[in-house]
Amino acid sequence: MRYFLELAYLGTAYHGWQLQPNAITVQEVLDQKLSALLSEPVYTLGCGRTDAGVHASQFYVHFDSSKNITDNLITNLNGMLPIDIVAKRFVLVHDDAHARFDATARGYEYRMHFFKNPFIDAQSYYFNFKNKPDIELMNAAAAVLIKHEDFECFSKAHTGSGTSICKINYAYWEQTPEGFIFKISANRFLRNMVRAIVGTLLDVGIGRINLADLQIILESRNRSKAGTSVPANGLALVSVDYPIGYLANEL
């Protein structure tokens, strides 16, 4: 039987989601705990990848098991998981369901703050510049993104993704009590894409480049022309969408 498991995690202590040979990852911890809980080897496959230090308030995995999973296993699993990973629910799905390929959209948020605050540093980028970036200019720049589909200029090289085409559903900045938050949704994302976008939009906001420059960067398809990637701690995967009714069989 195939199951989906919804998770959330704080990525600070982990070298990303996906298994790494010499570093602790969320997937490694989860697979170990699920295998112990179900008394059989369990290998999960995630809805995507998050880089080292990136968080997720919603993340789905799928895995196969010969066991009948019941709702009380969530409590047992959470008792085994570390405090920075939480299991939310199991869903029984059809045998060819796929957490990554069946997702129709993913949403990310990037948080930044302008005043030193040790209580939010783990999940927000401290933007310690003399002048705050212009949020109206950055929203104008975000609107430029939506008109494009090729985002190779924001992707790490040699990722093996096959295509740099993505369909952005929305991208915009909002003011928060601490600073700004950038929200973006797309059908897919390239590796490091959101952090590179945020760094480039911040360059617009502080006057380092203008909207015409952004257009040139996008058309160049050259990562070296775009802005520096912002730190990982401000980024979180916040939503993963599937077709209507796809996750209806919650246990």
Q: Any idea which residues carry the catalytic annotation?
A: 51
Q: Position 45: which residue type?
A: L
Cross-strand partners of 184: 108, 171
Three-state secondary-structure class, residue 6? strand
Three-state secondary-structure class, residue 109? strand
Contact call for residues 65 and 31 (beta carbons, < 8 A)? no
Three-state secondary-structure class, residue 176? coil
Contact call for residues 56 and 9 (beta carbons, < 8 A)? yes
Cross-strand partners of 241: 105
Contact call for residues 229 and 193 (beta carbons, < 8 A)? no
Contact call for residues 18 and 49 (beta carbons, < 8 A)? yes
